[in-house]
Amino acid sequence: MRRSCSLCLLALASCITFSFAQPPDSLPCSPQAKTITVWKVGSPYYNGAPGKGISTDLKMKAKSLGCTIKVEAFPAVRFADSFFAAFEKHQEPDVLVVENKGVISGIAMRPGEYIDARGGAVMRTPAAIEGIAGNDAVSRALEAVPRSMAGLDDARSWVFLLRTSRNHPAARSWLAPPTQQQRQQ
């Protein structure tokens, strides 16, 4: 009897350990929110919004989680207004990609017109960009993603998850680097 109880306990402990040791990409999209929403925000030093492209690898990984990806792009100027409005309604993105960290922390620039590296005239108005992390609730919600992932950003971008988003667990799994076991397959 003691031996069979010991075996039962060992089996139970193995099941519990196994369930907690699942790889992070085993978290699928929630049934209510089948889309991972990505917002890309341009630099205050350039006019307009960044491109909406993401890599094929990230699209395939999203599909393996049962998700689709929706990318929206915004210029940096007045982005904070759009973000705060969405955050209040609990419609914030799952992933935020910014070309300039001033969008997060705030930035002051000299006002006026200048020529950017692409050869176009840029009018800086307003000269100050409100950082979204100035709001305490937003600051707590932001979760920086390590630069190990590829296909969503470039070398000049910062990527954040929003802990309060509807699909945070799936977005986190989506952006997680592959495990050792996945790399060997």
Domains in the chain: boundaries: 26-184
3-class secondary structure, 112: strand
Residues 6+ apart with CB under 8 A from 135: 84, 87
Please report which confidence band the pLDDT of residue 118 belongs to, taking 50, 70 and 90 as the band edges.
low
Q: Does pLDDT of 82 surpass 90?
A: yes
Provide the pLDDT confidence category of residue 37 given band limits of 50, 70 and 90. very high
Q: Which CATH number fits domain 26-184: 1.10.3470, 3.40.190, 3.40.50, 3.30.70?
A: 3.40.190
Confidence of residue 20 (pLDDT cuts 50, 70, 90): very low
Q: Whole-model pTM?
A: 0.74
pLDDT of residue 25: 41
> How far is residue 100's CA from residue 108's CA, in Å, rounded to a whole number?
12
Pairing between β-strand 128-129 and β-strand 35-41 as defined by DSSP bridges? unpaired
* Helices 56-64 & 168-175 angle (0-180, nearest 10): 130
Strand partners, 160: 96, 144
In angstroms, rounded to a whole number, what is the distance separating the alpha carbons of residues 172 and 184?
21
